[in-house]
Structure 1
């Protein structure tokens, strides 16, 4: 379901990426991902957290106890908030790179048959941009079709729905199906509960709040005659900093709500087994 890469116009300046360049770009990702994921990040984690214990992930809620947050919890939450992005990028984009090299090198496909599945880091400046410009689009097309079908059905029942409401309905359906599909996978892997669904719906709520706040700020700027200044501010380093900080803060709060309960159960099991094994003695005959 990936969108095909743009085809070059005949006689135009746009040219298809040469096969050699394509192979170099894709092949270079494989050792880079391996080195960073299995050598650099584990060492960095061991130097900062040392060892993760169940107590570190026993308190997923944050807003109710801001005064009790320790420096260690900040580090653990920061790793958790970013690790799920990195893991998905490594395994999905790494697999895509391996398959792209294989099929293009053998002549089965052309480079245009293997467009990138993730966007550039600049697409993470804002929660809506994160999901629409940076994150992979592997399931967006079918989910969007379901969302548009549901929005059309509602527009027949409630005539006169504004386009902004229709767009919000489509986005809600996309996040809803994403949460349900992830919950189904988690259930199949033995994890019960609706943490996946809750987290994806939290992301929809975050995107909705971001949209409303930006719309309000832009209306106020328009009334004050400061539209040009606001546009300049959004494109400046401060605007980019606010966008990245907002995304990190949102994930810093919500990802532990999603990941900590499952991680806590796994760590408790490991600590119980470690305690049992430590009490066992080897009897020599």
Structure 2
């Protein structure tokens, strides 16, 4: 048996479209046992119970199968217990976490047989997710910069300044990542591209060194305005928060809102403002930054607690 723990993530962070991602201290946990019978069964506890598949079509099982196939090993029979806390369809990296859970479970099951370095783990996850901005922080924790080369995806992990206090405001409604991406134009004005390059560079500095710059650093002209029509309440509240000095952005593809505060008291004020002014219910999640990333622990004959990197 192996046990896997994977953090939620928020991608883009405003200007860092498909590049920047942040790991958050909210976790999905997975137990995987090998059995004699072929196939796989999944018990889902918490988020997604009664909604997600519980057979071989489950995304976690598919990620395990993808990893075994990639290294040329036959897939054994599996029993999975998934304890999910990451909201689905809310822009907090639930699909990336499921993929990383499966890959890390396979890593644990193949411990001592196949070696997986950080680049191999990221490549396997990117194969399934299609872009590395969510799976990189889920695997490695902290703030990650991810990019793609002809040789595959790459990442750099950075440690976030201790003053940064994330707040995620989660609505009851969901948003399709595919729909959000379909609203993106194929090209953008040159001045908008330059604007985002400057803000992305500033955002890295703000997150690791100068949190007082977070408001200016989270401005964006590449994706949020194009997606606003699909989530008008998200757009309205982000505008309200930013007008009041809060560094608010769309979390991933939305519709959740990420507020990057420079101290814990600031996020209390942001949550109170939304509670007063929102037309629908938004759940405030006051989360720490996760610095460890995904872990896998063997609970059978040998014990190990191995972070992805």
TM range (shorter): under 0.3
TM-score (norm 2): 0.26
User: Which structure has more helix as a fraction of its residues?
Assistant: 1
TM-score (norm 1): 0.28
